[in-house]
Amino acid sequence: MRVISNRPIREFCASRKADGEIAARDFATWRKIAEAAAWRNHGDLKQTFGSADRVGNCTVFDVGNNRFRLIGRVNFGTGMLYVLAVMDHKEYDRGKWIDACGCNDPPPTKPESRRADQAGREPKSEEGAMIVGAPDHGLVGDSYFDLVRRFPLMGIRDDDHLDQAVEVIHNLLRQDRDDGEEAYLEALSILVESYEKEHDPTPDASPAEVLRELMRSNGLSQTKLSRAVHIAQSTISAILGGERSMTTSQITALAAYFKVKPAAFLPKP
């Protein structure tokens, strides 16, 4: 999954005086798992994050052993996970986030399939900026180009531009979208992702941290996991303790069980 955007996570961690470092570590682990996920539906998601719950059109992720909550919206068709809000358990219990995140707004409509052969010259905005990945008028409706005129698709310049782009994304998420709006949302999301990878990279998480979070989220003891993936309990204990590295076959078995790619258990490139 492509996680859009990291800004709410970073701001939340920076606001935590007592446990900011713990929060940053926990969310880095969560994000590494989410980015390695291969979800096709909510059932797949629950196989990775068993403690996740749906609230209206949003998904609530329990992060860091019940310390924190992340509110997101998942688009399984485009492989996007949008981070709407991050909070601690106390703020979550107040429930104000439900309206703030638009969890009860209409869900996005499923986009109709679009032709892959998007021929023709890429159009430009009125400001002369290239419209990134723009389809021609025969593939999507006028809504795509209407959105481009309002907020051109170009490389994100700075954090202020990022904030504007994220606001546009969040507004679109609260609407029923046609094919043109869906295509625009996907293109803008990719631009945000590209900017954040360069200017706000997420720290890596160790294989032990990843496995510990997956086990916690699914309520798995070492014994239960051992039976499920046919890895000795003593080996799992050694991996969690940082005393042993995972073998290729162990990574393959764990990735298949938790519905993630093997990259979840490997160092970032």
Encode pLDDT of 33-42 as tens digits: 999 998 999 9
Return d(Cα 243, Cα 238) in angstroms, integer.
Answer: 5
Q: How far apart are the first and last CA of the chain?
A: 17
* Region 81-87 average pLDDT: 96
Least confident of 20-24, 84-88, 116-120, 181-185: 116-120
Quick one: fold of 2-100? YaeB-like fold (3.30.2310)
Q: Residue 153 class from Cβ within 10 Å (0-12 exposed, 13-18 middle, 19+ buried)?
A: buried
What pLDDT, on a 0 to 100 scale, did the predictor assign at position 131?
Answer: 45
Q: Kindly report the average pLDDT of the chain as a whole number.
A: 88
pLDDT band of 105, cuts 50, 70, 90: confident
Helix axes 20-35, 7-15, angle to 10 degrees: 160
Q: Among 27-31, 170-174, 208-212, 236-240, which stretch is predicted with the lowest mean pLDDT?
A: 170-174
- By the 8 A CB rule, do 148 and 137 touch? no
In the prediction, which pLDDT does 269 show?
Answer: 84
- Answer whether residue 224 shows pLDDT above 50: yes
Sequence spans of domains, the chain: 2-100, 142-199, 207-265
**pLDDT for res 120:** 38
| Fold agreement between 2-100 and 207-265 | no
Among 264, 267, 235, residue whose Cα is nearest residue 49:
264
The pLDDT score that the predictor gives to residue 106 is 72
**Could you tell me what percent of the chain has a pLDDT over 70?**
87
Q: What pTM did the predictor assign?
A: 0.85
Structure tokens at 225: 């996991």
Q: Is the peptide bond before 5 cis (omega within 30 degrees of 0)?
A: yes
> Per mean pLDDT, which of 69-73, 111-115, 126-130 is the most reliable?
69-73
Which phi and psi (to 5°) does residue 47 adopt?
A: -75, -25
- Residue closest to 174 by CA, chosen among 102, 86, 241: 102
* Residue 115 pLDDT > 50: no
pLDDT value of residue 22 = 95
pLDDT higher than threshold 50 for residue 119 = no
Q: Which CATH superfamily is domain 207-265 in?
A: lambda repressor-like DNA-binding domains (1.10.260.40)
* C-beta of residue 170 within 8 angstroms of C-beta of residue 131: no
Q: Does the pLDDT value for residue 187 go beyond 80?
A: yes
For tokens 């986030």, what's the residue?
A: 97
Q: How many helices (H) and strands (E) does the chain have?
A: 12, 5
pLDDT at residue 19, rounded to an integer: 93
- Closest to 81 (Cα-Cα) out of 51, 49, 118: 49
124-167 tens-digit pLDDT? 433 334 444 555 545 667 899 999 999 999 999 999 999 999 99
Tokens of residue 25, six digits: 């570590």
